[in-house]
Amino acid sequence: MSSHAIELKRATAAYDGSPVLSDVSLSIPAGHFAGIIGPSGAGKTTLLRVMLGLAPHVEGLVTVDGQRVRPDRPPQGVGYVPQVGTIDWTFPVSVENVVMMGIVRSASRLPWASRQERRRVAETLERLGLEGLGGRHIRDLSGGQQQRAFLARALIGNPRVLILDEPTASVDIKTRDDILHLLAELNRAGATIVMTTHELNSLAAHLPWVVCVNAGIVAQGPPSAVFNDVTMSKTFNAEMRVLVDDQTGALLVAEAGSHRPFSLTLDAPLPDVA
Partner 1 sequence: MDFFTDPLRYEFFQHGLIVATLVGALCGLMGVYIILRKMSYIGHGLSHSIFGGAVVAYVLNWNFYIGAGLWGFLSALLINATARRRNLGADAAIGIVTTASFALGVAIISKERTFTRNFEAALFGNILGVTRQDIAIIAAVFAAVLLAVFLGYRQLLFTTFDPEIARVYGVRTGWVDAAFALALAATVVVSMNIVGVTLIAAAIVIPPSTARLMTNSFGPLVVLSTLIGASIGAIGMFLSFEFDIASGAAIVLLGMAVFSVVFAVTGLQHWLQRRSHLGGAAAEGSERPRHAPVPVGLMAHDDH
Q: Beta strand pairing status for 192-196 and 33-37?
A: parallel
Contact 170, 199 (CB under 8 A): no
Can residue 52 be called a binding residue for partner 1 (CB under 8 A)? Answer: yes
Beta bridge partners of 137: 94
Interatomic CA distance for residues 96 and 134, integer angstroms:
5
Can residue 146 be called a binding residue for partner 1 (CB under 8 A)? Answer: no
Interatomic CA distance for residues 176 and 167, integer angstroms:
8
Beta carbon nearer to partner 1, 197 or 220 = 197
Beta carbon nearer to partner 1, 54 or 228 = 54
Can residue 167 be called a binding residue for partner 1 (CB under 8 A)? Answer: no
Can residue 24 be called a binding residue for partner 1 (CB under 8 A)? Answer: no
- Selected range binding partner 1 among 3-11, 98-106, 126-134, 238-246, rule: CB under 8 A: 98-106
Can residue 263 be called a binding residue for partner 1 (CB under 8 A)? Answer: no
In the chain, helix, strand, coil percent, each to 5? Answer: 30, 30, 45
Min separation Cβ 185 and partner 1, Å: 23
Beta carbon nearer to partner 1, 16 or 267 = 16
- Candidate residues 74, 129, 208, 221; the one interacting with partner 1 per rule CB under 8 A: 74
Cβ neighbours around 91 below 10 Å, total: 11
Interatomic CA distance for residues 74 and 78, integer angstroms:
9
Beta carbon nearer to partner 1, 140 or 222 = 140
Contact 206, 229 (CB under 8 A): no
Interatomic CA distance for residues 204 and 192, integer angstroms:
16
Interatomic CA distance for residues 249 and 265, integer angstroms:
37
Can residue 246 be called a binding residue for partner 1 (CB under 8 A)? Answer: no
- Candidate residues 5, 62, 99, 100; the one interacting with partner 1 per rule CB under 8 A: 100
Can residue 43 be called a binding residue for partner 1 (CB under 8 A)? Answer: yes
Can residue 124 be called a binding residue for partner 1 (CB under 8 A)? Answer: no
Can residue 44 be called a binding residue for partner 1 (CB under 8 A)? Answer: yes
Can residue 115 be called a binding residue for partner 1 (CB under 8 A)? Answer: no
Looking at residue 122, its amino acid is A
Can residue 83 be called a binding residue for partner 1 (CB under 8 A)? Answer: yes
Can residue 78 be called a binding residue for partner 1 (CB under 8 A)? Answer: yes
Interatomic CA distance for residues 233 and 194, integer angstroms:
23
| Positions 173 through 212 that interact with partner 1 (CB under 8 A) | 196, 198
Beta carbon nearer to partner 1, 75 or 223 = 75
Interatomic CA distance for residues 89 and 119, integer angstroms:
25
Cα angle value 29/30/35 (rounded, 5°) = 65
Site residues, partner 1 (CB under 8 A): 15-16, 20, 40-46, 52-54, 72, 74, 76, 78, 80, 82-88, 91-94, 97-98, 100-102, 104-105, 107, 109-112, 137, 143, 157, 166, 169-171, 196, 198
